[in-house]
A = this chain, B = another copy of it.
């Protein structure tokens, strides 16, 4: 989900590239830095700082829906944690967004097969209670192909099962049901929207996530069924007409201002140039946001801490950003990019950890040709962690996307997401799902990558892209 990138594209008619000073010469990683990185890597693998941070956030703050009371506690937690870890600078930058609240939600089959259904409202759903016959569609295309008005007074049920995969590629089609399904259903006349969760588990824990309604449509209550409940509703629908009651109390309620919380370990010789790493501080409300994304916070805070404990600081600063409200539209990432657009070229590389806590298996950057050899050198330092160099692959993490669009070069540390969508956006996203050893491997990878990027002689192609709008 990259609304910022999608929105920006049609506006950009011309792009100016303001290359940084060293852009022309080959970027290199000093041999001494590679030696230091090897020691850092081994130290990180034996260190539990990442785990302790992740445990602290998920336990002491718990669920932290953007705009909720816990959002403010999370901000305070992050500031205190950065200070406790010895970051040289700690500050916040405001992020303002509309506030959505979930108050209650339930659904039930009515009639001769009466029984409750485990659902969760999609983020952005309005409240309301609707009853109607369920019309099942195998996927989003089937719903979109339904006759106009054919769902009048009915509840649409999109029963698409997304597949599991290491790289999460199945989520594209799964999340499209969530983002586009409600509007498609409304256009056909539906009074409510149900979907099989965009998930890969078989537990009674439905997967939430943001949805949006197209302009001009009147939103209807929209929810996801757990996978077993989708199975059940499909079986019932196959037996004959099924009536369901869907009752949601939720909705948008004004604006809220949260904070991107930022900690920096100051660089030795080029302190104004930064390597940016981070995760997002907010979570959905159903679980404690362990894999999404306390792990990302823990991994990146710990990586910076371990770098700061080295005998000598790297040349550039290591900046860790705990982004606000990623879940409801990359608000933190957009705010950061807007505030730092002019500094896009001073961000050497930027990477967000936001795909769980599975082991990292691949690495790449979006650097141009003059920094490909340096990228490969970093990959070689990561190889003992079971990480392969994957030229031509990857991209910017969610909250890095907007900054990348401003000119900063992304780095990509690909996590194994084979079980990520078992847990993503569910009540089951809790600390026990994280393997401490895999988390330490992530910390080691982020530490090595960030350290070497901060020690590199030369740049990775970050620029300031100036967009010219259409007249």
Contacts and interface: CB of A to CB of B under 8 A. Distances in A.
A295 to B, nearest CB: 15
A127 interface: no
A58 B203 CA distance: 16
A332 B114 CA distance: 24
Nearest to A235: B59
A426 B73 CA distance: 32
A33 interface: no
A120 to B, nearest CB: 12
Taking residues whose C-beta sits less than 8 angstroms from the other chain, chain A's interface range is 35 or more
Contacts of A432: 202, 227-228, 231
A77 to B, nearest CB: 10
Interface stretch (A61-69, A270-278, A454-462): A61-69
A70 B427 contact: no
Say what secondary structure dominates the interface of chain A: helix
Interface in A17-61: 55, 58-61
Given A59-B236, A235-B55, A431-B231, A73 B204 contact: no
Nearest to A68: B114
A218 interface: no
A140 to B, nearest CB: 23
A426 B235 CA distance: 21
A37 to B, nearest CB: 34
B113 A59 contact: yes
Interface in A94-117: 109, 112-116
A133 interface: no
Contacts of A239: 59-60
Contact of A428 (B62, B112, B204, B236): B204
Nearest to A63: B115
A61 B112 CA distance: 8
Contacts of A228: 428, 430-432
A79 interface: no
A113 B116 CA distance: 31
Interface in A228-261: 228, 231-232, 235-236, 239
B62 A113 contact: yes
A287 interface: yes
A118 interface: yes
Contacts of A430: 204, 228, 231-232
A370 interface: no
Interface in A162-208: 202-205
Interface in A69-84: 69-70, 73
Nearest to A58: B232
A313 interface: no
Interface string A113-131: 1111010000000000000
List the 9 closest A-B pairs by CB distance, nearest first: A62-B115, A204-B427, A228-B430, A59-B235, A203-B203, A202-B432, A228-B432, A60-B113, A204-B428
